[in-house]
């Protein structure tokens, strides 16, 4: 069954789709599955935020068999959260907004959905090989960004210890140079304290909020040719998740997958070498395939440029800038999100992402209730 997820507290549009067509969205074969567009004239998206201590949940339609009355019967005991974060030069404010909203998001998740066993990973939108370079040196050593790749060039130029490592012992591996790698360094080159040497966090991660702040503060020296969807697809691919893979163990067959994409630019491949290859329909099919064809197993949240949409917060015709108020309109990313039965679009130009995440939890909760884990 194709579900059209909606909420009474948000305005709802789907690009190019009339309101009266709400009952017949086409899933993977049409241009939209089920999507909530959270946007308004004010900077927080026009969403009614519940009073402190009150968990906000969406009024969602029941599945074919109705929602389980017994929480133990709900399908979602585990959840894998994948944050795909644009690390290009204009994203400092947006990363700060994401970090500020995370504690409330996780608190609401743990109060609302059945899943208490979760994985959390943050990945950049590039492969680390075309990043910028910021280096400061003193008489004996250098510090550079983005770590750790920046140390290769820094050592070539200055021949001094870099970020606390000798140039002949740099902590650089193949996993630091691929799309979809879990981030393990913050913006100033400090290694984040992820437990057990993983590239993702588990629910028992010490200082979960502080560790997320470290990995989500991903920096702004990444490539300007962002490929957020490619980063998403690689992060859930077999090579990266299988034995010996860079993200080994992150993606689980018996967990619901929640993808959160945050970017102020379109994923456009009109110019060779830029953007994710293929079309939104193909991207959708590949992500669903990573969950063995189960459309109930995937939720996609997109904080993207919305200047092309009615009521969008980003200036129409605008582009990314350094103050967080502009973003490139992103119809391809919007279409990608729309194709999922559990898809939510929000404005990357909002000054506060908390309302977006508060409402999105309801969509995740509903998806959990109808998800049937493998095995």
Q: Where are the domains of the chain?
A: 19-127+179-370, 129-177
Categorize the per-residue pLDDT at 323 as very low, low, confident or very high, splitting at 50, 70 and 90: low
Q: How confident is the model at residue 188 (pLDDT cuts 50, 70, 90)?
A: confident
- Contact, 179 vs 127, CB < 8 A? yes
User: In which band, very low, low, confident or very high, does the pLDDT at 20 lie, cut at 50, 70 and 90?
Assistant: very low
Close Cβ partners of 323 (under 8 Å, ≥ 6 residues apart)? 93
SS3 content of the chain, % helix, strand, coil (to 5): 30, 15, 55
At 4 the pLDDT is 33
Within 8 A by CB and 6+ apart from 69, the residues are none
Percentage of the chain beyond pLDDT 70 is: 78
The answer for residues whose C-beta is within 8 angstroms of residue 373's C-beta and 6 or more apart is: 75, 77, 78, 253, 254, 255
Note the pTM of the prediction, 2 decimals: 0.82
On the question of pLDDT at 297 being above 80, the answer is: yes
The pLDDT of residue 274: 86
Short-list 251, 240, 261, 266, CA closest to 318? 266
Query: What confidence tier does 84 reach under pLDDT thresholds 50, 70, 90?
Result: very high
pLDDT confidence bin for 17, thresholds 50/70/90: very low
Q: What is the CATH number of domain 19-127+179-370?
A: 3.40.50.410
Residue 16 scores a pLDDT above 50 = no
CA gap 89, 77 in Å, rounded? 38
For residue 101, the tally of other CB atoms under 10 A from its CB is: 19
């Amino acid at each position: 069954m194709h579900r059209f997820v909606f909420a009474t507290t948000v305005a709802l549009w789907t690009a190019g789709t009339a309101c009266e067509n709400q009952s017949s969205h086409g899933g993977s074969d049409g241009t939209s599955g089920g999507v909530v567009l959270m946007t308004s004239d004010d900077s927080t998206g026009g969403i009614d935020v519940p009073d402190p201590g009150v968990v906000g949940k969406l009024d969602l339609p029941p599945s074919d068999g109705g929602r389980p009355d017994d929480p133990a019967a709900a399908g979602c005991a585990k959840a894998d959260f994948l944050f795909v974060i644009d690390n290009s030069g204009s994203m400092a404010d947006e990363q700060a907004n994401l970090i500020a909203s995370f504690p409330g998001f996780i608190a609401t998740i743990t109060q609302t959905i059945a899943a208490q066993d979760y994985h959390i990973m943050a990945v950049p939108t590039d492969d680390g090989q075309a990043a910028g370079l910021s280096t400061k040196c003193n008489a004996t050593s250098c510090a550079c960004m983005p770590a750790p790749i920046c140390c290769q060039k820094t050592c070539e130029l200055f021949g001094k210890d870099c970020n606390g490592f000798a140039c002949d012992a740099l902590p650089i591996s193949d996993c630091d140079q691929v799309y979809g790698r879990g981030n393990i360094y913050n913006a100033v080159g400090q290694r984040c304290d992820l437990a057990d040497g993983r590239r993702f966090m588990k629910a028992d991660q010490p200082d979960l909020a502080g560790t997320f702040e470290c990995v989500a503060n991903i920096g702004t020296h990444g490539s300007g040719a962002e490929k957020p969807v490619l980063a998403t697809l690689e992060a859930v691919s077999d090579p990266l998740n299988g034995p010996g893979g860079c993200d080994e163990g992150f993606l689980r067959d018996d967990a619901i997958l929640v993808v959160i994409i945050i970017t102020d630019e379109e994923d456009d491949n009109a110019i060779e070498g830029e953007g994710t290859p293929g079309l939104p329909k193909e991207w959708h099919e590949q992500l669903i395939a990573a969950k063995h064809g189960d459309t109930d197993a995937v939720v996609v949240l997109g904080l993207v440029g919305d200047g092309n949409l009615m009521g969008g917060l980003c200036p129409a015709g605008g582009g990314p800038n350094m103050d967080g108020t502009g973003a490139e309109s992103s119809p391809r990313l919007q279409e990608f999100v729309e194709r999922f039965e559990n898809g939510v679009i929000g404005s990357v130009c909002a000054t506060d992402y908390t309302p977006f995440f508060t409402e999105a939890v309801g969509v995740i909760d509903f998806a959990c209730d109808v998800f049937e884990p493998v095995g």
